[in-house]
Amino acid sequence: MALMKADAYGHGALGIASALPDADAFGVAYLGEAVQLREAGVRAPIVLLEGAMAIDELAYAAALDLAVVIHQHEQLQWLKNSSLSRPLTIWLKVDTGMHRLGIAPSEAASVLAELECLQRAPDPKVREVVVMSHLACADLPDHPMTAQQLKAFQEVTRGVGGQRSIANSAGLLLGDDFGFDWVRPGIMLYGGSPRNDRSAEQLGLRAVMKLVAPIIAIRTVAAGESVGYGASWVAERDTRVGIVAVGYGDGYPRHVRAGACVLLHGCECLLLGRVSMDMLAIDLSAVNAQLGDEVELWGPSLPVERVANWAGTINYELFCQITGRVRREYLP
Ligand SMILES: Cc1ncc(COP(=O)(O)O)c(C=O)c1O
């Protein structure tokens, strides 16, 4: 299952859907995300990972031929009380330890029995059932919770027919025990590392997104003068400064620490002063730059994980923060 929620982790759901014609399913969080894909003509199976948020969403889900997660009893009640145009594939989410979503393992057998009744009824509401869970700490390979969750999942699904799924990207890297019938990678599909202790390159992942912006002004700032809001950076010597047309209004993080840089003609250029909404300033001392030159903010040559580190966040957040005004071009 290719995870496509949050506009395909900021990459643009429609562009990514057409780039992944072989995905067995797409995973989204909210109904609106599924509607967007269906309206654009995406016919692949789609799983609504947070399930219905109100009873009428189940009828929409059936009309759009979506599979839905059931993670709490109210959703099962809604299913029983709903009137559907076709039976739904249900992903039953069991809480094996993350304690965010999911029914308790002790309740799984009875809920599965109820789902089976709905499947066997003369007017069936259920087409098939997949049992799933989600790992809380798979990005920390030695964390004891991962083994506990796997054990709980194996116990809960023992003897239960049907398909099973537990692995996100980090889980997928933990080996075959976590594979089951479906894996659900998100960040690694986009070339992001799911682990702090391994770079994307070490994991053999290639960046899908390259965020670039042009230099729109070049000036020399005299020693003692400052650049940008708050005059927070003051030139120690006369410095050639480039102004790049990207800022927090595009999703570049406002709070990056000193030492953050961008890439220009293969050279790392330091950011100077504060990031503003539409612009940021860079040090051009070491590079021969022209107006219009393209600066890489992150991408194949400057891993997003480095920028995330300078910003005190994670690659996921940087991807998701890319705003609507950023023009996306999809290369064949
Ligand atoms: C239920 C579920 N499965 C899979 C994923 C994919 O996670 P990742 O992007 O870490 O691979 C997510 C994302 O948070 C998720 O919520």
Instruction: Specify if 112 maps to a domain.
Output: yes
Residue whose C-alpha is closest to residue 138's, from 201, 71, 193, 69: 193
Q: Which of 190, 225, 244 is the last residue of a domain?
A: 190
Residue 49 within a domain: yes
- 76 Cα to the center of ligand 1, angstroms: 23
Work out the number of other CB atoms within 10 angstroms of the CB of residue 312. 11
Q: Is the same domain home to 246 and 161?
A: no
Instruction: Find out whether the beta carbon of 187 lies less than 6 Å from any atom of ligand 1.
Output: yes
3-state secondary structure of 59: helix
Given the DSSP bridges, would you call strands 267-272 and 261-264 parallel, antiparallel or unpaired? antiparallel
* pLDDT average, residue stretch 225-251: 97
- Where a domain ends, among 133, 155, 190? 190
Q: Is 184 in the pocket of ligand 1 (CB under 6 A)?
A: yes
For residue 128, the model assigns a pLDDT of: 97
Cα-based angle 310, 312, 318 (whole degrees, multiple of 5): 85
Which residue out of 48, 98, 178, 184 has the highest number of ligand 1 atoms within 8 Å of its CB and is therefore the one to mutate? 184
Residue 140 maps to which CATH number?
Answer: 3.20.20.10
Same domain membership, residue 217 and residue 184 = no
6 & 63 share domain: yes
Average pLDDT over residues 58-85: 98
If asked whether residues 54 and 162 sit together in one domain, one would say yes
Q: What pLDDT does 318 receive?
A: 98
Run of H or E including 46: strand 46-48
* pLDDT per position as a tens digit, 302-315: 999 999 999 999 99
The pLDDT-based confidence of 169 (bands split at 50, 70, 90) is very high
- 239 and 135 within one domain: no
Q: Categorize the per-residue pLDDT at 241 as very low, low, confident or very high, splitting at 50, 70 and 90.
A: very high
Region 158-175 average pLDDT: 96
Confidence of residue 215 (pLDDT cuts 50, 70, 90): very high
The pLDDT mean for the chain works out to 97
CA 72, CA 232: separation in Å to the nearest integer?
50
* Residue 142 belongs to a domain: yes
Instruction: Clarify whether residues 33 and 166 are in a common domain.
Output: yes
Residue 198 falls inside a structural domain: no
Reported as a pLDDT band with limits 50, 70 and 90, residue 246 is very high
In a domain, 274, yes or no: yes
From 26, 168, 205, 305, mutation site for ligand 1 pocket: most ligand atoms within 8 A of C-beta: 168
- At residue 141, the pLDDT reads 86
Contact predicate 92/162, CB 8 Å: no
Structure tokens at 197: 């202790």
| Whether 145 and 266 share a structural domain | no
Query: Catalytic residue among 5, 93, 190, 252, which?
Result: 5
150 and 220 share one domain: no
Backbone dihedral angles phi then psi of residue 33, each to the nearest 5 degrees: -70, -35
In a domain, 138, yes or no: yes
In a domain, 200, yes or no: no
- Cα 3 to ligand 1 centroid, rounded to whole Å: 7
Q: Looking at the predicted structure, is the pLDDT value of residue 206 above 90?
A: yes
CB within 8 Å of 207: residues ≥ 6 apart: 190, 191, 192, 200, 298, 299, 300, 303, 304
| Both tokens assigned to 57 | 């969403």
pLDDT for position 308: 98
If asked whether residues 108 and 40 sit together in one domain, one would say: yes
Per-residue pLDDT band for 186 (boundaries 50, 70, 90) equals very high
Domain containing residue 314: 211-320
Using one digit for the tens of pLDDT, what is the confidence trace for 128-148?
999 999 999 999 989 999 999
Say whether both 223 and 87 belong to one domain.
no
Distance CA 119, CA 43 (A): 24
Q: Whose CA is nearest to atom 9 of ligand 1?
A: 186
pLDDT band at 296 (very low <50, low <70, confident <90, very high): very high
Residues 5-24 have pLDDT tens digits of: 999 999 999 999 999 999 99
Domain membership flag for residue 204:
no
pLDDT of 332 reads 85
Tens of pLDDT, residues 268-295: 999 999 999 999 999 999 999 999 999 9
Query: Are both 167 and 69 inside the same structural domain?
Result: yes
Instruction: Please indicate, yes or no, whether residues 93 and 134 belong to a single structural domain of this protein.
Output: yes
Number of domains forming the structure of the chain: 2
Task: Name the pairing type of β-strands 182-183 and 233-234.
Answer: unpaired
User: Residue holding tokens 């599979």?
Assistant: 67
Specify the residue for token string 């069936």. Answer: 124
Rg from Cα positions in the chain? 24
Per-residue pLDDT of 29-40, as tens digits, reads 999 999 999 999
What would the mean pLDDT of 202-211 be, rounded to a whole number? 97
The CATH number covering residue 306 comes to 2.40.37.10
The HSE-up count of residue 88 (CA atoms within 13 Å, CB side) is 32
Report the relative pairing of strands 163-167 and 182-183 from DSSP bridges.
parallel
Structure confidence at residue 312 (pLDDT): 98
